[in-house]
A and B are shown apart, each in its own frame.
Chain A
């Protein structure tokens, strides 16, 4: 009933505007418009690129199978280039002009934080693909996120360090929202594990050489390990600069390292890097019967078949999870925005690429620390880290 009255209103309003315009909106009344703000180009393109490709692939498949409850999806991808100002204007455009049903993205934490209040005021469902915990803590009613929390990643890393007997570390972070939030968490959680952060440095996200800062850190002989927190190519550069300088302390990276291209770029220097990540990267070596196994292997094969020039990464997985969650909620609650929001909040046991999601009104991320595994790089490939 409500949908009919909605479309009546749409028709009346549209006739007041332009005749051609109204035809279009009536014809598309059954479609669900999903907006996506992703950093397809620019400094964070290795996040946004796979995310956009994943969404296009999924929407194509969903529509080919008849849509969600018979409603097809209209996907509108906006390329923010990781620029927060662009993200803000695209958000307004998607809400006010395109009148989308929900927004997926942005790819980066900095952008997400800039639009958090805008979507909240507009009562627009946002499923962020960015990792920083501040996105869902404090909880905003309409804001959800699919990547694992950085505090869980930090705890996982510190847990591993404790097992290795490491107590004094150096922290490096990129000057992005993700890097800053991660550095904050690393410094905050360290005392809980009896770990001391001796030095902390922030580098530019476009940094192309870190040998000078490596020299600075290396001069401090007490440092037993380095943790790097960034999503940029500097992750590989740091590894190279450290090993070239002959510094062989363990290098830990954040869950932002989950792209095999970084391993390729780091080459021999990437060997032995330890980092927390979802299970997508080791999907094929998961035991049969693991709740995520089937889905991970399917996504991996689908993605690499459709985009043979690209390798699957956890980042595309975050978009996969966002759309999966949205679809699951729409299947449950129909096409009423408020009901779908409530449905997302009550979703439990939904297997995604990042882990098994159990949302609640207090937890808009829905993942626990067990969604992470510690991985390492062995012979140019990701492998489970064994102590």
Chain B
């Protein structure tokens, strides 16, 4: 393999990987405060992209993206308030089924609003054929946008959880909800906030990736499966691990193409998911003791 080819595969892998990681982080944020997997996470990404595309017809791209992210966050909050908040000590299974229902609902609504056609935001810089040369490999500037924006988001989130009191309160909820309540933290609001946050980062990812991958109403479930694989691979609830696992999966997928037929690409993610569930259900970087204490 020539060095250029290696770099080309590597960047393709990082692009997939960082998107998976963002979806996985969305899973983690909600998992940490509620203990559930929100299977509508992929729909947040879809909504972000689709709303931004619609907004772009009346305003410039940066504004359209901001508007899309804000609207998606509001949708996230509404979903939590309508479907989750009023449930009295719901079982994990029930909440998961609810999120699957929300995902289907969101897709159908999107189908009615935008129809079945595939859309895309224009490239932020240049157009479809622009490329920059990195170590002999040609990369679309949009790939750098995806990597840059997503890395910033990950960094911002870890700062938020570490150093702001709101972030600490959310982490307190994650660690022990009852103890957090006793300390005067409004855990219900924290759950709403977690939906808002993960809707927001999903929407940002949906916007930056739209020029490369296109957006359509049905893109959610595929992303959710990859994101879920990554979240499990890294260990549920651990966002730094999710980034590592995301990049790992993306790069494995990209390099697999050089030896395996392309058709097997998606089978790899599913195989990894099954393998990890059998062999290390607490994930590559999770601890089995902590996992055994969790309900799910």
- A interface with B by C-beta (< 8 Å): 40-43, 45-46, 48-49, 175, 201-204, 206-209, 211-213, 215-216, 218-219, 233, 236-237, 239-240, 243-246, 261, 265-270, 309
Contact = CB atoms under 8 A, between A and B. Distances in A.
Nearest to A232: B118
A340 to B, nearest CB: 32
Nearest to A49: B116
A233 to B, nearest CB: 4
9 contacts: A46-B117, A202-B261, A203-B262, A204-B266, A211-B12, A215-B5, A244-B139, A261-B118, A265-B120
Given A203-B263, A204-B265, A209-B213, A244 B5 contact: no
Nearest to B219: A208
What is the size category of the interface that chain B forms with chain A?
A: 35 or more
Counting chain A CB atoms within 10 Å of each CB, the highest count among B111, B222, B253, B262 belongs to B262
Contact of A268 (B117, B128, B263): B128
B214 interface: yes
B87 to A, nearest CB: 31
Contact of A208 (B5, B138, B213, B255): B213
Contacts of A244: 128-131, 138-140
Given A215-B137, A240-B212, A267-B127, 17 more contacts: A40-B116, A49-B116, A201-B263, A202-B261, A208-B212, A208-B222, A209-B16, A212-B253, A215-B12, A216-B258, A219-B1, A239-B128, A240-B128, A243-B131, A244-B140, A267-B123, A269-B129
Contacts of A213: 257, 262
Contact of A216 (B11, B123, B127, B257): B257
A160 to B, nearest CB: 23
B263 A175 contact: yes
B115 A49 contact: yes
A212 B214 contact: no
A146 B122 CA distance: 36
Contacts of A266: 128
B138 A246 contact: yes
B254 A212 contact: yes
Contacts of A216: 5, 257-258
B13 interface: yes
Contacts of A46: 116-118
Contact of A233 (B111, B122, B214): B214
Contacts of B254: 212
A212 B123 CA distance: 20
A211 B15 CA distance: 10
Contacts of A206: 222
Contacts of B15: 209, 211
B263 A202 contact: yes
Nearest to A269: B128
B54 interface: no
Contacts of B164: none
B9 interface: yes
A212 B9 contact: yes
Contacts of B151: none
B228 to A, nearest CB: 16
Contacts of B262: 201-204, 213
| Closest 9 A/B residue pairs (Cβ) | A45-B116, A208-B213, A269-B128, A215-B8, A267-B128, A212-B12, A243-B129, A246-B138, A244-B140
A265 B118 contact: yes
A331 B117 CA distance: 36
B244 interface: no
B216 interface: yes
B89 interface: no
B114 to A, nearest CB: 10
Nearest to B254: A212
B214 A237 contact: yes
Contacts of B253: 212
A234 to B, nearest CB: 9
A244 B255 CA distance: 19
A49 B129 CA distance: 30
Contacts of B216: 233
A207 B12 CA distance: 13
A215 B128 contact: no
Contacts of A265: 118-120, 214
A219 B5 contact: yes
Contacts of B115: 49, 309
A211 B117 contact: no
B131 A245 contact: yes
Contacts of A239: 128
A141 to B, nearest CB: 34
Nearest to B8: A215
Nearest to A247: B138
Contact of B138 (A48, A245, A269): A245
Given A202-B263, A203-B263, A204-B263, A219 B2 contact: yes
Interface in B91-114: 111
Contacts of A237: 213-214
A103 B231 CA distance: 46
A209 B138 contact: no
Given A41-B111, A245-B138, A212 B213 contact: no
Interface string B2-25: 100100110111011000000000
Nearest to B120: A265
Given A202-B262, A202-B263, A245-B8, A212 B257 contact: yes
A268 B127 contact: yes
B33 to A, nearest CB: 30
A237 B119 CA distance: 12
B12 A209 contact: yes
A246 to B, nearest CB: 4
Nearest to B127: A268
Given A41-B111, A175-B263, A244-B138, A212 B13 contact: yes
A233 B115 CA distance: 15
Nearest to A42: B218
A108 B46 CA distance: 25
Interface string B210-235: 00111010110010000000000000
